[in-house]
Amino acid sequence: MKELRGKVAVVTGGAGGIGLAIGEAMLAQGMKVVLADVVEDALGAAVEGIGSKDVIGVRTDVTSFESLCETRDRAIERFGAVHVICNNAAVGAGAKGHAWEHHLNDWRWSLDVNVMGVINGMNAFVPNLIAQDEGHVVNTSSGNGAYTPIASSDIYPVTKAAVTTLTECLWGQLRELGSKVSASLLLPSSRTPGVLATGIWRAGANRPDRYRRGDPDDDAPRDALAEYRARAAAAGQEVVEAPLSEVADLCIEAIRDDVFWATYPMEHQTAKLRARTASQIERTPPDYLLEVNLMSASADERKRS
């Protein structure tokens, strides 16, 4: 979609973090934007903060197909059409212990938002995009899952690997159809080295009642960014923040120039990707999984949690 001016986008998870940055970048391109999020206070504050007639906020729960259909209809009612759907909402459940010890509701919540949320978004929007033969789907994945998983974070990369495969299949099927609609996979990253300090680091925040673990004390969110900073400090490293606008730039380029892998090349990720491919081809143990990653809790920390 070469011309973005006047086009309409719906961005899920748009009340904060990367989704809000994408919404702002789209407005700067002259697009009209629907920010869709389940957290109403944050959504209201985001829309008020932008203060433009070209942006509205619609409370949306991506775990519900019906909710996404209502959001699509509201967008069409207000702006006349939808051209871009960014399936960006996701959660980090802050699961405790090892993979075999996590509460099943941590799995259910993450799979429902991070995977079913993208499938619901695809089903709610793609038929309209195909019918008008114009549009773009941007699904947000993560290097953690799309390239190689951080083994200790298990649930999250499982969901992001699913989003990656789904988006590859979607791209292939759209091409097979000869449709002008296309798809991109956004792998949030930045030119400036640093962490993307967003709400996702408040692991377990805004957990809906149906996904509770049973004990209210157990459900308190964790500040995973503070934990990362502490681990890094102990290792003599400093954690700096990167601007979210750089992630949003990737999304804009992906739509305008039809880029599938929307990411900045990162030496470290590339090395891990090569190691994984070599391990698969040569059938050697996946040793690349053993690298210590300070972003995620160590085995000892997980044992104590």
Residue ranges that bind ligand NAD, judged by CB under 6 A? 12-13, 15-19, 37-39, 42, 60-63, 88-91, 113, 140, 142, 188, 196, 198-200, 206
Tell me whether residue 45 or residue 81 sits nearer to ligand NAD (CB atom).
Answer: 45
Tell me whether residue 12 or residue 269 sits nearer to ligand NAD (CB atom).
Answer: 12
CB of 43 to ligand NAD, least distance (A): 8
Tell me whether residue 211 or residue 288 sits nearer to ligand NAD (CB atom).
Answer: 211
Token pair for residue 141? 């994945």
Note every long-range contact of 200-209, with CB atoms under 8 Å and residues 24 or more positions apart, other chains counting.
Answer: 200/17, 200/90, 200/91, 200/92, 201/92, 201/225, 201/228, 203/92, 203/93, 203/94, 204/92, 204/93, 204/94, 206/38, 206/39, 206/91, 207/93, 207/109, 208/109
CB of 44 to ligand NAD, least distance (A): 12
Tell me whether residue 135 or residue 143 sits nearer to ligand NAD (CB atom).
Answer: 143
Q: Rounded to whole angstroms, how far apart are CA atoms 17 and 247?
A: 10
CB of 91 to ligand NAD, least distance (A): 5
SS3 69: helix
Phi, psi of 261 (to 5 degrees): -85, 90
Residue 156 is a catalytic residue: yes
**DSSP string across 40-59:** HHHHHHHHHHH--TTEEEEE
CB of 86 to ligand NAD, least distance (A): 9
The sign one gets for the Cα dihedral 76, 177, 166, 137 is negative
Indicate which residue of 147, 156, 211, 288 is catalytic. Answer: 156
Catalytic positions, written as ranges: 156
